[in-house]
Amino acid sequence: MKYKTLGKSGVLVSELCLGAMTFGKEVNEQDSIRMIHQFLHNGGNFIDTADVYVGGESERIVGKAIKDRREEVVLASKVRMRVGAYPNDFGYSRRRVLAGIDESLERLGTDYLDLYQLHVWDNLTPIEEVIRTLDDLVTSGKVRYIGCSNFLAWQLMKALAYSDFHQYARFISVQPQYSLINREMDREVLSLCEEENVGVIPWAPLGGGFLTGKYKRNEKPASGRLSNGIGESSWENRATEQNFKVLEAVEEIALKINKTPAQVALNWLLGKKEITSPIFGASSIEQFEENIGSTGWTLTKEEWTKLDEVSKLPDEYPLRFIEKFQRHIGEQ
């Protein structure tokens, strides 16, 4: 397992991050703990969860698994989603965040988090209040670093600018959806992260399971996540003609090099310079082992480029204009 620095920090994280969203639901406690221990044995050290996952059960299981191995782990969790029935049981008010960190720490059985992330932008709470509260958490020692998830480029930049101006803790990472079939972050977020040295830890690196190769055109699954998912995880959103073209390219390369489609799709992400550590999940031990098999080897330049070309976004303004202008200047 290789390691990378997480954004503008000195902390090293494994090239894969173990996502704990399935722990306590699709995966029972015993198998969840087994996956975590196997991940650590394989050299992984980065684990991501959230207070809302399985009503806090995910955090509890992760805490139990790493109880005697806390110093081996770069532990990340998130706050934002509704966790109770009362009006202030969601969002980023100082009240909610201060309560949220204590609740997460108790479930995780630790006195600090390595990375505390905002789960998604909150239009209700001013970012100034949020950053000031997070800075207090860093100062208090309850949190080592802060990050965000599902932010637009302007939202991320506004937060970074506010932190820098007031010399508060700044986001060292962002957690967006990103994969061969979800490359919307190429428009602005990835270039911003590269410019500002913000780590990128993508969720759904296999497109919600679409890139595993188990789905076929015009055959909506009768069970599983895509059968009854909504929004990003819906069959209608994933099963587009363009996505199946990407999948065909993944399957072709996988067959050629004797790897699985999931391993190929993950390895493509590992070879992308802007990406720090894709967050992979698993609903079984077998799936976990398959995903771990995406490390320790690399696609050839030709294979990587083929996947990059078939999955890239269409030319759009202003990037189209800027690229043509730069080529024109270079010719003079």
Maximum CA extent, the chain: 65
Catalytic residue among 3, 53, 86, 168: 53
- Cα–Cα distance, 114 to 138 (Å, whole number): 10
Task: Say which amino acid occupies 281.
Answer: G
- Cα–Cα distance, 119 to 161 (Å, whole number): 19
| Residues 6 or more apart in contact with residue 331 via CB below 8 angstroms | none
Angle in degrees, 0-180, between the axes of helices 301-311 and 261-270, rounded to the nearest 10: 90
Contacts of the segment 245-248: beta carbons below 8 A, 24+ positions apart: 245/310, 246/180, 246/181, 246/211, 246/307, 246/310, 246/311, 247/181, 247/210, 247/211, 247/213, 247/215
Active site residue 53: yes
Bridging pattern class, strands 199-200 and 12-14 = unpaired
Count Cα atoms within 13 angstroms, Cβ side, for 191. 6
- Active-site residue list: 53
